[in-house]
């Protein structure tokens, strides 16, 4: 069984990226599970808070889910052509304390997908994640790309994918990543 964690980088109730994560979880290949991780409840990173109170509970939960998974999929929004602060903040916390980076990131498979109402579907945000993952020593999967543009026309009011071609591309993306994770052993 291949265990994946998917994380939406949006806190918004009707987030396109959370909808994409939910759709991925509902259409998994045989032999693959996907836990939905959340960045909700993670405070702004503050070195003084870390020193006085340690790693916050919401960070510890997500970090454990990531460490126990065989692979992680980041469902990233794009803000001002880059990574939204809330999502980067969560991963910054997950990278603390420094010696534990290897438990979560080092040599471990990560995939990046995203949705936005714009034409380019988070292309620049996804590219920005590559340097972060590189810094953390993670193995960013490059077998497929999934940039869902014009997201307002792809999901209905309940967040369900109405575009069959996108649903298929999402299924193929998750299956391709799971196969990569499986082959890596
Ligand atoms: C501060 C801010 C900056 C944004 N910048 C971009 C951008 O550079 N490119 C883009 O495609 N969409 C941009 N958007 C629109 C987001 O893609 C849109 O709000 C999207 O719904 C966010 O993802 P979510 O639905 O998962 O919350 C921006 C939105 C905000 C709030």
**Domains in the chain and their CATH numbers?**
2-184 (3.40.50.360)
pLDDT of 92: 98
Which among 20, 21, 40, 79 is the best mutation to test ligand 1's pocket, defined by most ligand atoms within 8 Å of the CB? 79
Atom 28 (ligand 1): residue with closest C-alpha? 79
CA of 51 to the centre of ligand 1 (A): 33
pLDDT of 24: 98
Structure-token pair, residue 53 = 């109170």
pLDDT of 185: 83
Which among 12, 17, 76, 78 is the best mutation to test ligand 1's pocket, defined by most ligand atoms within 8 Å of the CB? 78
- pTM (global) more than 0.85: yes
Which among 9, 24, 77, 81 is the best mutation to test ligand 1's pocket, defined by most ligand atoms within 8 Å of the CB? 77
How high is the mean pLDDT in each 10-residue block of the chain (185 residues)?
A: 98 98 97 98 98 98 98 98 98 97 97 97 98 98 98 96 98 98 93
CA of 82 to the centre of ligand 1 (A): 10
Atom 14 (ligand 1): residue with closest C-alpha? 79
Number of the ligand 1 atom closest to the C-alpha atom of 149: 11
């Amino acid at each position: 069984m291949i265990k994946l964690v998917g994380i939406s980088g949006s806190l918004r109730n009707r987030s396109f990226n959370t909808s994409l994560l939910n759709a991925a979880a509902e259409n998994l290949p045989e032999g693959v599970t996907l836990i939905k991780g959340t960045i909700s409840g993670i405070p702004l990173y503050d070195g003084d808070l870390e020193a006085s109170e340690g790693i916050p509970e919401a960070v510890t939960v997500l970090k454990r889910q990531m460490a126990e998974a065989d692979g992680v999929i980041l469902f990233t929004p794009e803000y001002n052509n880059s990574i939204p602060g809330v999502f980067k903040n969560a991963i910054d916390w997950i990278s603390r304390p420094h010696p534990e980076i290897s438990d979560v990131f080092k040599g471990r498979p990560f995939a990046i997908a995203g949705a936005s109402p714009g034409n380019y579907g988070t292309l620049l945000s996804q590219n920005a994640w590559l340097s972060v993952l590189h810094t953390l020593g993670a193995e960013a999967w490059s077998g497929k790309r999934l940039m869902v543009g014009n997201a307002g026309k792809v999901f209905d009011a309940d967040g369900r994918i109405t575009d069959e071609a996108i649903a298929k591309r999402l299924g193929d993306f998750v299956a391709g990543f799971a196969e990569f994770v499986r082959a890596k052993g």
